[in-house]
Structure 1
Amino acid sequence: MNIALFGYGKMGKMIEQIALDRGHKIVAKIEVDTKEIDFSQMDVAIDFSMPSAAYENITKCFEHKVPVISGTTGWLDKFEEAKKICTDNDSAFIYASNFSLGVNIFFELNQYLAKMMKSLDQYKVSMEEIHHTRKLDEPSGTAITLAEGIINNSDYKGWKLENAAENEIPITAKRIGMTPGTHSIDYTSKVDSIEIKHTAHNREGFALGAVIAAEWIKGKKGIFTMKDVLNLG
């Protein structure tokens, strides 16, 4: 499969190595200063570019009927527009805040637990996420996805980093060393606590999931999620 990389930072380079190991070919490495792009050889594009470039990169791919796998955060105010351009051009799209296979299973566990705990108001939920010190967004996109999973399956109305109200999920965001990513959800009552936790040992899981998503989407049309890739529906 011919893969184009939009964004060639640490994640792009890791995706490249995994894709090559799995027998694929990298036909383009698009960076901020890339002037001309040949879309004709691309079977699929994997986007981990800068937020300021993501929307244009993604929609140009759709206009050339190139399916896109995107993990770039910080541009989602234009997400619905991008989905419409994808549909209008009969292309295909997967966006995920986290492509790790384990994290996406964790998303499902989180929602299932939230449903179970909804009627047990003696338990109060909280969340902690830990990432490396170079991570700029706080909380992470993964933490926000986890919070939304709880909100959509409970009586909580929102989340907050500090001074959360009674109906809001308190999130503690820590930045420590080179931590790849740890997320924990804790339900605590006066008598006990229930915790689920995902710990990434390195960033390879994120890159591998993106390549697996690219393999899955080739030849398909429409808007999909990692639930579709992993058959978690």
Structure 2
Amino acid sequence: MKIALIGYGKMGKAIEAIATAKGHTVIHRIDLNNKHLLDKEHLQQADVAIEFTTPETAYSNILKCFEANVPVVCGTTGWLEKLPDVKARCLEKHQGFLYASNFSIGVNIFFEINKRLAELMSTQPQYDVKMEEIHHTQKKDAPSGTAITLAEHILDKLDRKAGWVNQESSQPQELSIISKREDPAPGTHSITYTSAIDDITITHTAHSREGFAAGAVIAAEWLNGKKGIFTMKDVLSL
């Protein structure tokens, strides 16, 4: 499989190492120094593109992949107000698109555990819930895309929560997400349900970027040759 890496920071380099070890070829490594490669002529040489850049550039990068008829795996967070438009354009142009706020297999299993716990807690109003997420200081968005996904799953199951806020809140209808930026910290997400009697906490802690990078490569292998809109739930049959 021939891969175009859009974004060649720490995550892009981790993805390259895993893809190469699995026998794939990275034909383009696109960053700020060689943006001229981000065009139809170069992109269409790839079987699939993997996009990990910034919230400001992700949208246009994805559309360029669509124009080149190349399926794209995107892991950039912080731009999701434009996701409905990307999905519409993907379907209109009969392209392949897979977005995930987190490609780690462990995190995607954690998503399912979170949904099930929230469902169980929907009938237990004596429990309040809050979330904490910790990432490295170079992470540009807060809360993390993973935290937002977890929060949306909770809000979908708990009628007593109307929305999330990125701070400690005393309002019972608000789900608090506490964001911390520390080094070194690849990523930790904890969700705690608290009552007067006891606490229940579920936590996922990443030890390195390898889990995210490996999941992105698995997603690219799965998406290669497909048309439509997908998530890691499709990749992992969750």
Which of 121, 124, 149 aligns to 1:120? It is: 124
Tell which deviates more after alignment, 2-11 or 169-178.
Answer: 169-178
TM-score normalized with structure 2 length:
0.94
C-alpha distance in structure 1 between counterparts of 2:138 and 2:105, whole Å: 23
In the other structure, the counterpart of 1:157 is: 162
Q: Which residue of 2 aligns with 1:180?
A: 186
Q: 2:112 — aligned with what?
A: 108
Unaligned stretches of 5+ in structure 2?
none
Alignment of 1:216-227 (within 5 A): 216-227=222-233
Secondary structure in 1 matching 2:88 = helix
Equivalent position of 2:237 in the other structure: 231
> Alignment identity in percent?
59
SS at match of 2:56: helix
Q: How does 1:1-233 map to 2 (within 5 A)?
A: 1-33=1-33, 34-36=35-37, 37=39, 38-155=42-159, 156-160=161-165, 161-232=167-238
Cα pair 1:32 1:53 within 8 Å, conserved = no
Contact kept, 8 Å, 2:51 with 2:74, in 1: the verdict is yes
Shift of 1:50: 2.3
User: In the comparison of the two structures, how many residue pairs are matched?
Assistant: 232
Farther off after superposition, 30-39 or 147-156: 30-39
Amino acid at match of 2:193: Y
Q: Which is further off, 3-12 or 45-54?
A: 45-54
**Structure 2 CA distance for aligned equivalents of residues 170 and 70 of structure 1:** 27
SS of structure 2 residue aligned to 1:219: coil
Q: Which runs of 5+ in 1 are unaligned?
A: none
1:63–1:85: 8 Å Cα contact kept in structure 2? no
Report SS of the residue matched to 2:234.
Answer: helix
Structure 2 CA distance for aligned equivalents of residues 78 and 138 of structure 1: 18
Cα distance in 2 for partners of 1:157, 1:10 equals 36
Regions of 4+ moved over 2 Å: none
SS in structure 2 of the partner of residue 93 of structure 1: strand
Match of 1:28, as an amino acid? H
Counterpart amino acid of residue 225 in structure 2: G
Task: Give the alignment's Cα RMSD to 1 decimal.
Answer: 1.2
**How many angstroms does 1:153 deviate by?**
1.0
Distance 2:170 2:141 in 1: 19
* Rounded Cα–Cα distance in structure 2 between residues aligned with 1:134 and 1:172: 17
State the 1:163 CA deviation.
Answer: 2.5
Note the C-alpha offset of 1:164: 4.5
